[in-house]
Chain A
Amino acid sequence: MSILVIAEHDNNQLKSATANTVAAAQKLSALMGSSVDLAVLGQDCQSVVTQASSVEGIDNVLVADSAAVAHQLPENLAPFLADLVQQKAITHVLFCSTAQGKNVAPRVAALLDVAQISEVTDIIDEATFIRPTYAGNALAKVKTSDPIKVLTIRSTAFDGVDMTSGAASVVALSDVKDQELSRFITESVVESDRPELTSARVVISGGRGMQNGENFSLLESVADKIGAAVGASRAAVDAGYVSNDMQVGQTGKIVAPDLYIAVGISGAIQHLAGMKESKVIVAINNDEEAPIFNVADLSLHADLFEALPELEKTL
């Protein structure tokens, strides 16, 4: 029995989501008493390998440095990983629940003729997992009967392990074959002054309490300071303060940032439906009774027109 984590990286940097997935792997390893290896598949990714070997709790870093996986093309990655899993008698393969992980994990599972379990938020035993369904409105406890478990791990559900204290050995793997089914053309990072709402690490949203569209500039200046995206409640959109692509909620965008700051938002259930999965929720509101305070991790009962400028200054 052994556990393999697939590292998320861009050939230069090991992505922090890997640390969360390793944390999940360690929870498994504690249950099963087995080792945890970390696979780095990429091209010219030596710096990633170095970072990977310092991730806490990793036994071996398995490295395949090949042109065929320079861009993580799943057509090339999946057969290689499926072989590796079988060769090394790996029982658990863990991916990050990122665009990359979700792209590859099912392809590996299908080649192994096993189910894949998506967005795991908790591990009960070596075959039993918790995962959200229905957009997080129902948590399913599922048990797999397959010998090999291919999982994607939701990073917000596991606190990342330390990425500097490990000392894993590095093991080189064979070359990855190009299946010649697909080719990489380009990649473009969306350039914008502010991160996109749905992928931002921090979101600051305004509601009807902002009173008008101009006042949203108060939010924007805070957002600029901390690299946050700016959102809004439906009430603010309906009142015409901002455009509806900024709407967070049941009928707007669903966000789950590390930090969500709700300013002048009452916290109607329709809004909560769009942000309740955020890791930390901050509410700034002058209405003591606002329902947003019932779900906020940190509540500041204050006038937002005083609090926002102060926030901008102090940050």
Chain B
Amino acid sequence: MQREQMEFDVVIVGAGPAGLSTACRLMQQANEAGKELSICVVEKGAEVGAHILSGAIIEPRALNELFPNWEELGAPLSVPVTEDQIYFLRDSEKSIKVSNIMTPKSMHNHGNYIASVGNLCRWLAEQAENLGVEIFPGFAADRIVYGEDGRVAGISTGDMGLDSEGKPKANYMAGMDLLAKYTIFSEGCRGHLGKELIAKFDLDDGVDPQHYGLGIKELWEIPNELHQPGLVLHGTGWPLSDSASTGGFFLYHTDNNQIVVGLITDLNYSNPHVSPYDEFQRMKHHPLISKYLSGGKRISYGARAIAKGGLNSLPKMTMPGALLLGCDAGTLNFSKIKGTHTAMKSGILAADVLFPELISQGNGGLDLVQYKEVFKQSWLHDELFKSRNFGAALHKYGTLVGGALNVIEQNIVSFPFTLHDTAPDYACLKPADECKSINYPKPDGLLSFDKPSSVFLSNTYHEEDQPCHLKLKDGDVPLSNNLPVFNEPAQRYCPAGVYEVLDDGNGAKRFQINSQNCVHCKTCDIKDPAQNITWTVPEGAGGPSYPNM
């Protein structure tokens, strides 16, 4: 069936920092040059920012370049970092404060701001719309449209109003093809179209596999007397160290008596009994954290994977007719756990490369290989190069030794070698019976909570009667392979309780997918040991609705 089509100069998939920066910069240049450009941004969230979850401490470098007068324009960066503290949690009780000289430079945050990246995107979207960009929240890019010559020609938005069997309901509305000279993929970490492009165009040829972490975060309102706006805590060690897993926590004091607290669990963990959700819940009972949370009230919850492979894992970012930007490619600087400024910069650079192409009257569709050079000349590359060994060192040598190497490399000398980490995260799981089982404490309902109550606070909603957006390549794998070998880890790595193995009442097991709970973190797509789960977009507007995350 021929679908309805619309044509633009540029179609951007995803209204995150990368996509919106590209849009703003392109329009700024067009307006300056007195040229007309049609730029369309599709965003799967019901509004811009609805699906964005971040820390976040924001380094304003890229924002300064994009909107030097951002303060005047009211960008929501109002809480400067005032104090940095780094801890090593030894166990459930004890912690060691690490002195400043012992921490890598990348973890110092002077001059940065604590902010919600969701709110930053809401603001960026306003700027973009004022500049003339068309933004369509609630429309998910479902498929890539390829030209006859194999180039990327645009995307197709998903159908709306299909029932669970895929049949049209009364309010059915077919998706549309949005065609463009160039399409920007900025879906964030593990974009489902980005994944397809990387495979189709072999973009990751010759680079290390991408590595991921799962960030789980909560927003708390705490008593005024405990609140210190601008205070930043980072740390590592317990509770992940119990299962020889790695990762780190963050706790930032923002404004309005609110703090964010979160735990990033590296997804290369090997013990299938690990539940990042429960690790985070028990972590909040550590005195270092609970001293802030006791007496407070949890007001929001969410989770999102983070792409942390850095330069070593960064794929080629261009292909005929398209660019892959921001965390969709993997521009995050994991040594700083910051990806916002790098995602933005990747978008600004893309706009600089794209603009001359767009006004040159061509039909688009080229592989803008010159992006690579422009990227190499930029501070973005410098920054990622300096920290290229960070993640690999932690993976290889653990938090202590790896951490020390990072201090030396970043603060003192630059190593002339690169560490590589070639095992993909999904291949790291060991059989369940070879691993220590973990007895997570029951949530107490004050500091720690069960998954359903958490998902409730993410405002997640999916139209009830629609096809399941979590696709199993082989429907038998969860019970025939994952369950006996790994005790089906999806039950534990999914932070929203989407996957369950249930008794069917007749002594047999059943694999249940509660797709309506999905907070779009992408972990299942990453960590399933059989790589059997494919995350696809649900009907537009479905998913979490994060305020201030």
Contacts and interface: CB of A to CB of B under 8 A. Distances in A.
| Direct A–B touching, Cβ under 8 Å | yes
Interface of A: 208, 211-212, 215, 234-235, 238-239, 244, 250-251, 268-270, 273, 289, 291
Given A244-B464, A251-B516, A291-B450, 4 more contacts: A208-B502, A215-B505, A238-B512, A270-B455
B514 A238 contact: yes
Contact of B505 (A211, A234, A244, A251): A211
B502 A269 contact: no
A239 B461 contact: no
A174 B464 CA distance: 54
A268 B461 contact: no
A303 B505 CA distance: 14
Nearest to B451: A268
25 contacts: A208-B502, A211-B504, A211-B505, A212-B504, A212-B505, A215-B505, A234-B516, A235-B514, A238-B514, A238-B516, A239-B502, A239-B510, A239-B512, A244-B465, A251-B461, A251-B516, A268-B450, A268-B452, A269-B452, A269-B453, A270-B452, A270-B455, A270-B456, A273-B456, A291-B450
Contacts of B450: 268, 291
A269 B452 CA distance: 7
Chain B, interface size: which category?
A: 10 to 19
B514 A269 contact: no
Contacts of A250: 456
A246 to B, nearest CB: 13
5 shortest interchain CB distances as A-B pairs: A211-B505, A268-B452, A269-B456, A269-B453, A212-B505
B389 to A, nearest CB: 44
A268 B451 CA distance: 9
A111 to B, nearest CB: 39
A289 B442 CA distance: 10
Given A238-B512, A269-B453, A270-B456, A251 B464 contact: yes
A239 B502 CA distance: 10
Contacts of A289: 442
Interface centre among B465, B502, B503, B505 (most CB of A within 10 A): B505
Nearest to B517: A270
Contacts of B465: 244
A234 B500 CA distance: 14
Interface string B205-233: 00000000000000000000000000000
Interface string B510-540: 1010101000000000000000000000000
B491 to A, nearest CB: 15
Nearest to A289: B442
A85 B452 CA distance: 51
Residue of A215, A238, A250 with most chain B CB atoms under a 10 A cut-off:
A238
A235 B512 CA distance: 10
Nearest to B513: A238
Nearest to B515: A238
A73 B111 CA distance: 68
Interface string B340-363: 000000000000000000000000
A234 B504 CA distance: 16
A296 to B, nearest CB: 16
B131 to A, nearest CB: 36
A250 B517 CA distance: 12
A128 B362 CA distance: 70
Contacts of A239: 502, 510, 512
Contacts of B514: 235, 238
A122 B505 CA distance: 46
A250 B505 CA distance: 27
Contacts of A208: 502
Nearest to B514: A238
Most central of B450, B452, B504, B516 by chain A CB within 10 Å: B452
A293 to B, nearest CB: 13
A234 B503 CA distance: 17
A163 B456 CA distance: 43
A272 to B, nearest CB: 9
A178 to B, nearest CB: 40
A81 B461 CA distance: 44
B545 to A, nearest CB: 13
Interface string B447-490: 00010110110000100110000000000000000000000000
Contacts of B516: 234, 238, 251
Nearest to A267: B452
Contacts of A273: 456
A109 B455 CA distance: 42
B466 to A, nearest CB: 12
A244 B465 CA distance: 9
Contacts of B452: 268-270
Nearest to A268: B452
Nearest to B449: A269
A251 B505 CA distance: 26
A198 B510 CA distance: 32
A274 B461 CA distance: 15
B500 to A, nearest CB: 9
Nearest to B457: A269
Contacts of A215: 505
